């Protein structure tokens, strides 16, 4: 079975390396170059994390560090549109597409074809792909578990983000009830674009289970309970690019 820590760490390192090179050679932007280097280092550290259960504090620190880097990236890019979570591997990796300029000149399917790159541009449509935080430390994903509830339990409960999670699907709408919240971040730009951490992880689980792009439509928190409304999108939709 593939080591999830290694896979995610390497993808984050590649993203950081390409981003730092682009920022230095194309934009000549020192802060963004430094951010890319930081992502590369974080990815390397994640990749060498052993595939055994880690103390909760270690998991929290790694996740919060990842979210802090994404927050800085979104701030530097001036991003404010909601991310679209796009499955780029069947039942596996999910990338977050963040529109920077929407012109409706590309489908989500066309955008997904560029998920291995950082910048997507087609006509007047412009956006970036961000590697979202994935809490999989010490819990290799069971290949047979492809239902939304199964992925939610794995991603949110086993990883100690929450004590329970369940989903109710109706057509293209998925409502996720998360209880006993234990881990979240307060970065304002991250929350505006990617959603809260539990919602971000839930959207990834839904995208992987449905094999469709997913966007967070709304989320409401009451105490340690969070209700997340997700919207499954059509691959041919152009209104999000």
In a 13 Å sphere around the CA of 115, the CA atoms on its Cβ side amount to: 20
DSSP string, 81-111: SPPEEEE-STTS-EEEEEEEE--S-S-HHHH
Q: What is the mean pLDDT of residues 224-234?
A: 95
Least confident of 114-118, 191-195, 208-212, 213-217: 114-118
Q: What is the pLDDT of residue 183?
A: 87
**CB-based burial label for 151 (10 Å; 0-12, 13-18, 19+):** buried
Q: What is the mean pLDDT of residues 135-140?
A: 45
Q: Does the pTM of the predicted model rise above 0.85?
A: no
pLDDT at 145 over 70: no
Q: What is the pLDDT of residue 106?
A: 92
Banded model confidence at residue 43, pLDDT cuts 50, 70, 90: low
Contact (CB, 8 A) for 155 and 205: yes
In three-state secondary structure terms, 221 is strand
Banded model confidence at residue 26, pLDDT cuts 50, 70, 90: low
Banded model confidence at residue 142, pLDDT cuts 50, 70, 90: very low
How does pLDDT run across 5-21, given as a tens digit for each residue?
556 666 666 676 666 66
**Mutual angle of helices 4-22 and 30-47, in 10-degree steps:** 170
Q: What is the pLDDT of residue 157?
A: 83
DSSP 8-state code for residue 39? H
Q: What is the pLDDT of residue 1?
A: 40
Q: What is the pLDDT of residue 148?
A: 83
């Amino acid at each position: 079975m593939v080591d999830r820590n290694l896979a995610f760490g390497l993808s984050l390192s590649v993203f950081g390396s390409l981003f730092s090179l682009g920022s230095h050679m194309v934009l000549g932007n020192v802060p963004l170059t430094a951010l890319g280097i930081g992502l590369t280092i974080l990815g390397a550290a994640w990749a060498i994390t052993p595939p055994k259960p880690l103390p909760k504090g270690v998991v929290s620190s790694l996740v919060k560090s990842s979210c802090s880097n994404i927050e800085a990236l979104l701030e530097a890019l001036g991003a404010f549109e909601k991310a679209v979570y796009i499955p780029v591997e069947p039942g596996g990796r999910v990338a977050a597409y963040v529109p920077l300029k929407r012109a409706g000149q590309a489908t989500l399917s066309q955008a997904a074809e560029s998920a291995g790159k950082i910048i997507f541009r087609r006509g007047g449509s412009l956006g970036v792909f961000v590697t979202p935080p994935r809490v999989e430390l010490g819990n290799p994903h069971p290949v047979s578990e492809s239902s939304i509830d199964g992925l939610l339990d794995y991603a949110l409960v086993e990883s100690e983000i929450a004590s329970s999670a369940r989903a109710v699907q109706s057509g293209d709408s998925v409502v996720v009830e998360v209880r006993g919240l234990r881990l979240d971040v307060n970065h304002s730009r991250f929350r505006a674009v990617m959603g809260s951490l539990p919602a971000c992880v839930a959207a990834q689980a839904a995208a992987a289970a449905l094999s469709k792009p997913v966007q967070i439509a709304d989320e409401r928190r009451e105490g340690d309970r969070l209700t997340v409304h997700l919207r499954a999108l059509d691959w041919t939709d152009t209104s999000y690019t």
